[in-house]
Structure 1
């Protein structure tokens, strides 16, 4: 027979107790009731498997106890990456599906991005898109072991268009592949030791690029920045990788260049999105499509929880939140 202390510890964790015949659901119900009592008393949770515990760490909030939460990461098209509209503070964006949203007394309203959440979750597969098209070959039905010489990512001239959170994460993941990296962003500067070219130099740099990786946000300033003239400036056989927004590339121009076999492409985002079943992109050669699922991995949730906790702790300490897009 196990000790009473171990039983109590197991009940607190919600662990089934097969040795005394208690149903697992009863353990979970008791654990849930204890969680709600502690949350009502304003207890700070430092451990927990999900976002609900992170939100309960915010003492003084008016969040409805027991309500599941989700993080709204969608924003206006002008910013394109998780910026939230005016009138919604950083705590207000963490919303329960039941009950009133949490509000913090005396907080200034601001919009924040989920920067850092996507970095680990998305950019490993995104960097891999740059190498995949040169090694993927149709072998359906052949059932034979055939070695084949192919181009490597090493020593390739890569142009990275965009040097924000995603762009920097992609650059870090390309570094071990020994690529010749050129970075282009909205303005010329030196950032994190990397020389960055202004977007006004893009057309002059494209003829020297073998791979172009687009990580820009959406909006009027970046819509169709890769148009027919930009695609025409690329050398034959160049690879275009889009992991930003579908609207960054002129789809009609891309279809034309792919159909002629002049360039290749790897797209995690498309315009339109989702891509209709009858769209010509599905049938074109030299194209790899992933349905905007770079962040759908086990890496997303823990990074989301860490960012929410960090934002709550900063607000409790009277510090400004991270990744502020605007304030009001």
Structure 2
């Protein structure tokens, strides 16, 4: 893998060649980095469960033209709310981030953005997310409001539990319920079960991500599943990967779809599972570059499932 470009103020784990570091006006860069625009994988991981929710809802009741707007609104909302969430995370973690090599150049600990400025930026992004949410109907609006609770709690989770990845999963996979409710006007078992499956998937991919900071986290006392699992990480990831597949299979069946639609959805789930298995085989607990590469590859795993769920809902 190619090393990151040597841009003086670039964050270490930014995507190599990203447009923020290479093309954005210099005075915009700290704000865009604060929103992780230079690292889009988090936006994908927030968005993909939303698209799962659209696909599951289409499987349950059939497609609607409004589904196209749900897909677009969720994409815009994911960019805005991921940016707001990351800004909140960096505000609360500013002292920790300054102690970790991977995060020391983030805009707040490096002094590029003040805390007051970050709060204003967070509110601006949240308002964009709110505008998108208000177009999705009452049930989705209430679910969106409720989602603020796990978002607010997550940055503190690594201070009081060894399982902060579960709290991240609760927040990041909320969209499967929100998008489903936007289509159907409410919830049933399919999106709720898929939400739990998504949480298991998040533990899988974010444990891989957390291994990059294993030594730093140990030094400063930050908890994570990477530290909890240690050398047994692959065994635990096998368990959580299997749990994600089982729960998502149950969710697909809970839509009531049968025949061709069910088979298409299961093909997508098989592709998703194959990708997780590939990650397990490639994972090296001593290779942080490989860990980052595998973490980012979960965009493809989630996209495969999203594509086949939507396709299953159309046929």
Q: What range is the shorter-chain TM-score in?
A: under 0.3
Larger proportion of strand: 1
More helix by share: 2
Normalised TM-score (structure 2): 0.28
**For the pair shown, which has the larger CA radius of gyration, 1 or 2?**
1
Structure of higher RCO (CA pairs closer than 8 Å, 6+ residues apart)? 2
What TM-score do the two structures reach when normalised by structure 1?
0.27
